[in-house]
Amino acid sequence: MDTPIDPASLRYDHDAAGLHRRDLDPDPIKQFANWFTTAVEAGIRDVNAMSLATATPDAHPFVRVVLLKGFDQNGFVFFTNYESEKGEQLEANPHAAMAFYWIELDRQIRITGSVAKTSAEESERYFHSRPPASQLGAWASPQSQVIEGRDVLETRLAEATERFAGKPIPLPPYWGGFRVIPATIEFWQGRPNRLHDRFRYARQPDGSWSLHRLAP
């Protein structure tokens, strides 16, 4: 076996021009939209991929990558199986953290907040915007459950395909969206010598946002 690469030996020099308070919109949702648009225009693959952290009621953390499917002044939306590991954790402990990392731009965005389910109407609208194969996949996969092998999924997919042949595929009762309602939103810009720029918005009791620079 070859000698493994030592992670401590890896170096990446950040050379971005930096981030200044004057660059930031007073509204963090608009600032997110600005950065998200820039990332899309940069051609970053899976630009809406984000790390989503949840925790059990006794504070055991879990993290995975999911896809952002919408955002506005009400929050940031993703969809999943409510009976999955993350779905059950969010049901019991409705708080989450999200992180986007766009290395091509030397940028990160970190978001924390409470979590609520989207309405059934919103979930159904998004579900039916998905390709039919993805809709069938939601019926076929008992997400996060132990299965004997991939043939289980193939069998369940075949059964769902036959069941809904020639008719609209309904929204599974256990499937829908979550909305992360932000309490903090942080924008991070890589800089040389690990002296990165960090600015954090924090929601105030009256709904307004404060903005502070943080040490890297």
Q: What pLDDT does 172 receive? A: 95
Q: Which amino acid is at 56?
A: T
Q: What pLDDT does 33 receive? A: 98
121: buried, middle or exposed (CB in 10 Å: 19+, 13-18, 0-12)?
exposed
pLDDT by residue (tens digit) across 198-210? 999 999 999 999 9
Active site residue 163: no
194, 198, 203, 213: which is the annotated catalytic residue? 194
Q: What pLDDT does 207 receive? A: 95
List strand residue ranges (DSSP E) for 133-196, in order.
Answer: 175-189
Stretches in the chain below the pLDDT threshold 70: 1, 16
Write the CA distances from 134 to 35, 57, 117, 160, 172, integer angstroms: 29, 31, 21, 11, 12
